[in-house]
Structures are given as C-alpha cells and as structure tokens.
A = this chain, B = another copy of it.
Amino acid sequence: MPNIKMIARKAGVSISTVSRVMNGSKPVSPELQKRVYDAVQQMNYKPNSIARSLILKKTNLIGVVVPDVSNSFHAQILSGIEECTAHADYGVMICNVYRNMKQQQRYFNLMLERHVDGIILLHENTVDELTDFQKISTTPLVLASVPLEVKGIPFVGIDEVGAAYDAVSFLIGKGHREIGLIYGDCTALGILRKEGYIKAMNDHGLSVNDDFLVQCPCSVAQGYQAMEQILQSEKHPTAVFCVSDEMAVGAMDCTYDKGLKVPEDIAFIGFDDIEISQVVRPRLTTIHQPIKEIGREAAKLLIGLIEQNGKTGRKQENLRLAAELESRIILKHSLMERETV
C-alpha cells in the first residue's frame, strides 16, 4: 500500500501538496494537481483513514447496540440506519448484545475506545443505566424505538400508548367487548402498550378482566403459552390484542390447536407489522410501525448531532444543548387491516 510520502515523491511535490489536492483544503496550481492525480492513479493510492482519524479526531463510524440482529424488527431498523449512514459516508459497527447487560457494558467501552462518532441504542436499559452511559459517554447517544425519557438523550420512534389505544379502539369499534391482552416485559411492550390498552378500555366504558391479561417475553413460543393460559378460564375473550406480531402468531397457533377459529371465534390484532404478519394465515391485522424509517431518522438525527458538535468547539455543552432542543421525533403509525379481526 502506497502512502502519501510515496505519492509526494513520485509527483515531485511535498506531502502537504498531496494532502491539499486530495482534500481540496487549499488551492493548488493545475500543473501540480495533475502530477498528483497521475501519481495517485498510477499507484492506486488511498488515504489511510486511520491516520486521518487520529489527527482529525473523527472516525466516521457509528455504533449500533442491538439486542439481537437476527430479529426481523431490529434488522429492519439496522437497514434503515445503514441506508442513511451510507449516504453521509459513515460506517456502522454492530454490537449484538443478546439482551444481555454485561455484553452491553463491554461493547459500550469498546466503542468509546474505538472512538466512534456516535451511538444508536436499540437495546432497552433502565433509565439509571442509561444515565450512567450518558455520563461516561464522550459521544452523542440516540435511542431508537426504545421509548425512555432521559434528559439529553433524544428518541425516535412512535407514540406507543397512542398506537396501542388505536388497536384496542379498533377492536371495540368492531363490536368486541371482552378483549384480552398479551403484553411484554420491557417499557414499550410491558408498560406503554398496556397503558394504551387500559386507557382504551376505560374510555369506552369497558372493564378489564384480569384473567385475560397475560405477560410474557416477546416470542412466538411464549405467545403460544400465554394464549394457553388465557384459554384456561371458562369464558374466553372474543378478541386479543398482542403487543407484538410474534406473540400474536404464537397465540393464534394455540387458538387453532384448541379447535377455535380466527377470526370467527377469537379476533387478533398484533403490533409492529413485521414480515411475518403478511405471510401467516389468516393475514394478521396489526399496527404498522415505519420501522426502516425509524432507523433512518435515528441515524439522521445522530449525524446531525455529530456534525453540529464538530463545528462549534465545546463538545459536552453543545451536545446537551442540541439534544434537548429536538429531543423526541415521533413518527406516524397506522393500522393495517387484514384478516384476523
């Protein structure tokens, strides 16, 4: 691999001149420019971005902390992030933390050591953990689809409560009165979406039957088990709101196995609108999140913070300032009416 020195020698100019030609940072006579370009061409020179990073204090790399890349939802967000960063000439380093806090600690330090320019968090933490990260972080942080309120850490996602409210209201609008809920164990899936459900029930004067409320981790298998539990009561609900599509698919599975029909005996509505919901039979009615868009917006926001940061000197202060300025981007959700209600 040739370096700038070799190009300088070959072109018969100084190192500074080569640098200036490469970056256009100062005018260089056409004559010398040509000599440099020729040398670059001939030797296939590519500036060493490591040396560059060292002096510029900028890696053009962002880190994405993701609970599990192989999960469709996260993979889609990642794809949105990548789309945006690619345009802005940033690379993305993935940190798969397997929903494991210790891994995340490790990765977090790793990323700071590697001096990434910014970090997008898809992995849910407690507010305290997040505040700790924020303290040691030397780089801007953005939460994507993790609806936690931490001062100075911007968030991009949807209105979780409102979306859940819409889902349940839709069921009620279709005449359902006995509505079950399968909910999860993190902020969005465990608290916010449940809150939307409760609110919708209350607003429509319906009472919540605790036998129809089951909490479980977010997976097809767990959704199946949760539904089994709901079907143990002598009566069963006429509709169930599942706070994720995976859960809904599992729950529907269980419903068939008990000899019941969807949507005739029990209607289902899911959440997220991942691919699965379109291939499952009957096709799952669900709340659509603009998943890829969330990724894109998160990346856009982060890059905005990074570049703004770079311009004005005082890092920390500006960082806070900017974050507080535009701290929550809420994208629109929608209801995809398909065949399960």
Contact = CB atoms under 8 A, between A and B. Distances in A.
Given A75-B72, A79-B70, A48 B93 contact: no
Contacts of A79: 68-70, 96
A72 B275 CA distance: 10
22 contacts: A44-B136, A46-B109, A48-B115, A49-B113, A49-B114, A69-B79, A70-B78, A70-B292, A71-B75, A72-B75, A72-B275, A79-B96, A82-B94, A91-B114, A93-B94, A94-B94, A220-B278, A275-B276, A276-B276, A280-B280, A280-B281, A281-B281
> What is the copy number of this chain in the assembly?
2
A50 interface: yes
B46 A112 contact: yes
Interface residues on A, range: 35 or more
B53 A50 contact: yes
A112 B48 CA distance: 9
A86 interface: yes
A325 interface: no
Given A75-B70, A92-B94, A113 B48 contact: yes
B72 A70 contact: yes
Interface of A: 1, 44, 46-51, 53-54, 59, 61, 68-72, 75-76, 78-79, 82-83, 86, 91-96, 103, 109-110, 112-115, 136, 138, 220, 249, 253, 256, 275-276, 278-281, 292
Contacts of A94: 78, 82, 92-94
A82 B96 contact: yes
B93 A91 contact: yes
Counting chain B CB atoms within 10 Å of each CB, the highest count among A68, A113, A278, A292 belongs to A113
B76 A70 contact: yes
A59 B50 contact: yes
A78 B138 CA distance: 28
Contacts of A51: 54
A286 B50 CA distance: 46
A61 B115 contact: no
A249 B50 contact: no
A1 B112 CA distance: 10
Contacts of A103: 86
Contacts of A114: 49-50, 91
A339 to B, nearest CB: 12
A95 B61 CA distance: 12
A114 B47 CA distance: 9
A79 to B, nearest CB: 4
Given A79-B69, A94-B92, A54 B50 contact: yes
Contacts of A72: 70, 72, 75, 275
A79 B97 CA distance: 10
A281 B284 CA distance: 13
A6 to B, nearest CB: 15
The 8 closest A-B pairs by CB, nearest first: A70-B79, A75-B75, A82-B96, A70-B76, A46-B113, A69-B79, A49-B113, A70-B75
A171 to B, nearest CB: 22
